[in-house]
């Protein structure tokens, strides 16, 4: 049965020990990693899915809504999904340091905010894409998040007039096969899997942790997750504080 820790300082001490002895650790993270950076998560009490909009957020972030209500999609996307003022917090920074120190092989993230790369992480597998990549659906020209944020209505390519779509995976869309394969390989080859800031309820991404065959699983999340029962250590505390080591 997993050992459960609720004190963030104790969690930080235990995480430090496990990263020190790991030869190939992988971090699998979700929206909770970025809440300390000012980006709200989805399913907590204050999360996006508990706020009131004209349409449910799950619907507005779907492929069908993007096709049928494109302008409304971009209104919501600009207001709620792009947060260019956000900066990496201690969890992002420590993960980047662990990679440079040779303790962390890869980050597999469900987030689309790009904060892991901003913190300095180099091997980052973005399962759900990134707000920082936006692609013309006609000619393939790419645009930045800043460009989309400054555009009005439905963004159109400056070269060909085609629709510019964020390179993010919407509900009803498939994960990028190359990113999926790289993520599975990273998790399968790891000897330590640290799962942090995710409720593990969004599939197929959440199912990737089942490919882990290494020696130790650690969960760092305020609320219970389906992985707690198989974890060797559960840190039920703030993730940014838990990575302050």
CA pair distance 155, 16, nearest whole angstrom: 45
Residue 138, Cβ density class (10 Å: 0-12 exposed, 13-18 middle, ≥19 buried): middle
Q: CATH code for 40-82+130-168? A: 3.30.1600.10
Query: If you write DSSP's letter for every residue of 207-224 in order, what string do you get?
Result: GGGGG--SSEEEEE-SS-
- Where along the chain do the CATH 3.40.50.1220 domains lie? 1-37+88-128+174-245
Q: Which residues of the chain have pLDDT under 70?
A: 1, 43-46
Under 8 Å CB-to-CB from 227, ≥6 apart: which residues?
A: 195, 200, 209, 217, 219
**Residue 155, CA distances (Å) to 73, 84, 130 in order:** 11, 18, 17
Active site residue 128: yes
- Where along the chain do the CATH 3.30.1600.10 domains lie? 40-82+130-168
Is the peptide bond prior to 239 cis by the omega test (within 30 degrees of 0)? no
Instruction: Give the three-class secondary structure for 100.
Output: helix
> Count of CB atoms within 10 A of residue 206's CB?
20
Residue 85, Cβ density class (10 Å: 0-12 exposed, 13-18 middle, ≥19 buried): exposed
Q: How far is CA 28 from the centre of its chain?
A: 8
Which pLDDT value is given to residue 90? Answer: 98
Which pLDDT value is given to residue 45? Answer: 62
- Given 92, 116, 128, 132, the catalytic residue: 128
The model's pLDDT over 63-112, given as tens digits with 9 standing for 90+, comes to 999 999 999 999 999 999 999 999 999 999 999 999 999 999 999 999 99
Q: Say if domain 1-37+88-128+174-245 classifies as CATH 3.40.50.1220.
A: yes
CA pair distance 42, 58, nearest whole angstrom: 10
Which pLDDT value is given to residue 46? Answer: 64
Order of strands across the sheet with 216-220? 3-5, 233-235, 216-220, 192-196, 25-29, 104-109, 124-126
pTM score over 0.75: yes
Which pLDDT value is given to residue 1? Answer: 60
Under 8 Å CB-to-CB from 194, ≥6 apart: which residues?
A: 15, 18, 25, 26, 27, 28, 217, 218, 219, 220
């Amino acid at each position: 049965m997993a050992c459960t820790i609720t004190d963030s300082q104790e969690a930080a001490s235990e995480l430090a020990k496990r990263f020190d002895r790991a030869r190939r650790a992988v971090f699998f993270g979700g929206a909770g990693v970025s809440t300390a950076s000012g980006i709200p998560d989805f399913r907590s009490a204050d999360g996006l899915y508990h706020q009131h909009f004209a349409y449910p957020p799950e619907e507005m972030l779907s492929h069908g809504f993007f096709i049928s209500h494109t302008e409304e999609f971009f209104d919501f996307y600009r207001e709620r999904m792009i947060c260019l003022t956000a900066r990496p917090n201690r969890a992002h920074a420590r993960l980047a340091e662990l990679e440079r120190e040779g303790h962390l092989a890869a980050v597999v993230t469900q987030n689309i905010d790009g904060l892991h790369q901003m913190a300095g992480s180099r091997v980052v597998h973005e399962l759900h894409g990134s707000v920082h990549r936006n692609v013309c659906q006609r000619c393939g020209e790419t645009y930045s998040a800043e460009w989309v944020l400054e555009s009005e209505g439905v963004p159109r390519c400056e070269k060909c007039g085609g629709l510019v779509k964020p390179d993010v995976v919407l509900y009803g869309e498939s994960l990028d096969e190359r990113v999926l394969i790289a993520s599975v390989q990273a998790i399968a080859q790891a000897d330590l899997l640290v799962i942090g800031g995710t409720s593990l309820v969004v599939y197929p991404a959440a199912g990737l942790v089942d490919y882990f065959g290494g020696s130790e699983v650690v969960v760092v999340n305020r609320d219970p997750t389906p992985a707690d029962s198989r974890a060797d250590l559960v840190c039920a505390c703030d993730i940014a504080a838990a990575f302050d080591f």
